[in-house]
Amino acid sequence: MTKKISGFSGTLRVFFLLIIAIFCYSQLFAQKTSEPPESMDDFFRENFPLESTLKQIDADIARNPGNPALWQTRATLLESHGKTDEALLALEKALALIPEPAASQPNQKGKVRIVTGHNYAGALFDIAKIYLAMNRRDEARKTLQRAVQGDSPHMMACTYLGNIFLDEGNSAEALKYYNLMGHNLSTSGKISKGNALYNLKRYDEAIAEYEVAAHWKPELPSVLRHLGDAYLRAGRYADALNLYQRYVKSARQKKIPESEIAPVISRLEQLKKHPKSGSTKHD
């Protein structure tokens, strides 16, 4: 690959590497001829050897040290190879080179934010991910909160913040960040938002989120269980019974331990005996 792209200069060569990587990664899903790696980190690690690729990126940085994208690329490579401390330093360098987003200014069509705003938030998000990987949760939280400020919050940062607050039992605060995502939540995001609403006893709203997740992943055990719980709390006992039955079947097909399935079986049996009763807890 290096020989083919040696004619490219500076940033173009590095971006070409990234574009090829992402394209090839996506093709693995489309062709279904081989099992894809579990993450982009796996893909980079397998296809871009650390020493040779880093040498190439560093040569580009030497020619253009003020380009934040090159430092971010360096961080991506280092992180994929488990070099989190070095990746963090590269991201901090990139962040220092990106102008902080200016306050949005009104014009005839409404408010606009300068283009660098997204890149700045993206660098903050990448830094926060590394903090989380290093179990530096307080620093991660503060960095994520910086990434969601202003008129153009970083979408994934919103999800990560929501998950942090949800894990800490602060469902109301988690919901604020899930709501910032609008319709951009993934399946797991929909489940998490549903969990926050469920914890707040807003069962009908939780059902709406779970139902979207169930439409996208109809046999995903976690969404079937959560949707069944919400139906039960909302008094939709027949729907709860159906969802619990589907959960047990799907969970066993996916070889989920019986100890995790047992509480749902207990609810299922109770519903069969007493169709208008049941107890629910998120196990």
What is the rounded average pLDDT of the residues 111-128? 66
Q: What is the mean pLDDT of the chain?
A: 80
CA distance 123 to 94: 7
* Domain positions in the chain: 202-283
Which CATH superfamily is 202-283 part of?
A: Tetratricopeptide repeat domain (1.25.40.10)
3-class state of residue 19 by DSSP:
helix
CA distance 125 to 163: 14
pTM score above 0.95: no
Amino acid at 277: S
Q: Is the pLDDT of residue 165 over 60?
A: yes
CA distance 5 to 20: 11
CA distance 259 to 40: 33
The pLDDT assigned to 138 comes to 92
Q: Is the pLDDT of residue 22 over 80?
A: no
The pLDDT assigned to 85 comes to 92
Strands (E), 97-162: 105-107, 110-112
Q: Is the pLDDT of residue 224 over 80?
A: yes
Amino acid at 82: G
pLDDT tens digits along 201-223 = 999 999 999 999 999 999 999 99
What is the rounded average pLDDT of the residues 27-54? 60
CA neighbor of 78 nearest in space, from 39, 125, 120, 130: 130
Highest mean pLDDT among 21-30, 57-66, 91-100, 178-187: 57-66
pLDDT tens digits along 174-203 = 999 999 888 888 899 999 999 999 999 999
